[in-house]
Structure 1
């Protein structure tokens, strides 16, 4: 038996009807879903846009997405109905963050607290229908209660980028207090999260951005210095700032546009960690530089869902904050895609119902 609000009627949702430009996004009316046993239904307050949404809409080689498809991997909302068997700690009216990742089996990675490494790990909005709908149903373990004082709208900008940055810095690079961390792209969602996480761990943070305004944001978020990565001399400037040593950790997610400079900025024995490439998928590595300097290049995807407790508590304590460029109604999702593709965005775009 479902407990909570009556679900009769329809809801607004976004459909990607085929791969292509922003024009393939459609607002549609769908039946309100019913939670199955062990599931909760969330009335979605807001979602935020990520580069993943762009890639899903355009189409990715080797990734088949059934159409029509509901996009969106980040979201917040209020639980409004409970399926049979949901635990007593989850209640109607609870304000929650909706976790972007999920698994379908309780394998060894899940049991070890490293669910994002499970072979069946998926991301909502890519491997399953996403959160761009007024109501969504999902297993109860994939909602995290919001601490008092956190806003549903701003918090919608948190899940994917903060979890990704946490996984890059803590899980893969294993940053240590006192290390120098170079964060590429201060004004991006994942870059702005990376600055704050490294700073909170006691690291010296140096960041890069392509405009004075974006570099100022990086410093405001906690970076000690901010460099212009459109200036070819920026790796030399970083070396000068570190006494000729370079960075202990380089936080890379841009790809070809910054890769060579990122590798030149890495100190002997340093670690470069990357979660993607917004400027393209292919880069080159000069192998003698890599092995002669005992450097490491680490790939990273998402992060352990257990990190959400620390991330949200850090927000509640004022240690972390999402950077929200603007808040738009869901009906303007095509405009939001165009803004993100046009590099007009500082931080995250949030869309509300």
Structure 2
């Protein structure tokens, strides 16, 4: 079968190659992949910046398709079902945090950027009928991360003011759509004029250019104060976010694309009773609740571009350049 693998000897660090299919083990299923989507972790793997990097591993965490075959111990009724793959492996029994055995599909175990993917049967969830395979493939990792940040940790409520930073990225666009569906007043920030325009069209109360030095003052004046912030950047602009929060506000962050925070305004945090919470991915419970929420609200992921596997280099380069607005999808 065709698959996109990590290849450190290739100029692009990628190889579209033929990979031998293996026999299913107990409890496993084989999914015929109809669409797969990229995440930043795929690009980090290509750069060698992810733990347990191995050449020859099939990349990709997000995938949707049709169950083609089931192994021993798996209900035959799964055959022919249209499914989404949950890429969170071995989360564990504790809803509060992942286990030490937790891993994400696509490194170090083979992922979804292939014509076929073999995964444990308990990673399957039925695809909502209102989603195409491309839209369904865009959902898993980013959709799950956004759902846990907004609902489990953020405890978003109807009518609250929510700020989504870095609008346009995968997790941010889901958090934005989820917050709107939950009845929040949603604000967004981006350094891209185009992305700010899209956020406005989608229903943002206001949008801000975080590259401007006084963006936090503008956001505070426009919103009157934010109750919940979902952030992926951290870094030395973290204190700007604290300035925007209402007393008792929550700041949930799922990444640190701007690096660690060198200085934190501790007085602001304790005096205003602020809550700061880190988060990543999500539990099996979060995933099932997320898919149900998407189904009930008929949410459709924003798709940036769809590439064939043969143009995988272009797809990865677009992810690297940060040009995407929504998810980048590949099809076999």
**Under a length normalisation based on structure 2, what TM-score does the superposition of the two structures give?**
0.93
> Is the contact made by 1:327 and 1:350 (CA closer than 8 Å) also made in structure 2?
yes
State the match for 1:147 in structure 2. Answer: 128
Distance 1:320 1:261 in 2: 31
1:291 aligns with 2:280: no
Distance 2:236 2:66 in 1: 40
Distance 1:132 1:257 in 2: 35
State the match for 2:30 in structure 1. Answer: 41
SS in 2 for 1:72: coil
CA shift digits 1:113-158 (9 cap, x unpaired): x286222221111342221111111111101111323211121111
2:115 is matched with which residue: 103, 120, 134?
134
State the match for 2:3 in structure 1. Answer: 13
Aligned pair in 2 of structure 1 residues 215, 40: CA closer, same or farther (>3 Å)?
Answer: same
State the match for 2:252 in structure 1. Answer: 273
State the match for 1:67 in structure 2. Answer: 55
Count of matched residue positions in the alignment of Structure 1 and Structure 2: 332
State the match for 1:50 in structure 2. Answer: 39
> Is the contact made by 1:73 and 1:123 (CA closer than 8 Å) also made in structure 2?
yes
Distance 1:180 1:208 in 2: 14
CA shift digits 1:24-79 (9 cap, x unpaired): 11111111232212111001111111111111221237x22232222111111111
1:305 aligns with 2:268: no
* Structure 1 residues without counterparts, runs of 5 or longer: 1-10
**Under a length normalisation based on structure 1, what TM-score does the superposition of the two structures give?**
0.87
State the match for 2:18 in structure 1. Answer: 29
How is 1:1-353 mapped onto 2 (pairs within 5 angstroms)? 11-18=1-8, 23-60=12-49, 63-88=51-76, 90-103=77-90, 107-109=92-94, 114=95, 117-243=98-224, 246-256=225-235, 258-317=237-296, 319-353=298-332
Distance 1:221 1:190 in 2: 16
- Over the residues paired in the alignment, what is the CA RMSD in angstroms? 2.1
Distance 1:108 1:327 in 2: 36
Shift >4 Å, 4+ stretches: none
* Structure 2 residues without counterparts, runs of 5 or longer: none
Distance 1:262 1:22 in 2: 40
> Is the contact made by 1:171 and 1:303 (CA closer than 8 Å) also made in structure 2?
no
SS in 1 for 2:19: strand
Cα deviation for residue 329 of structure 1 reads 0.5
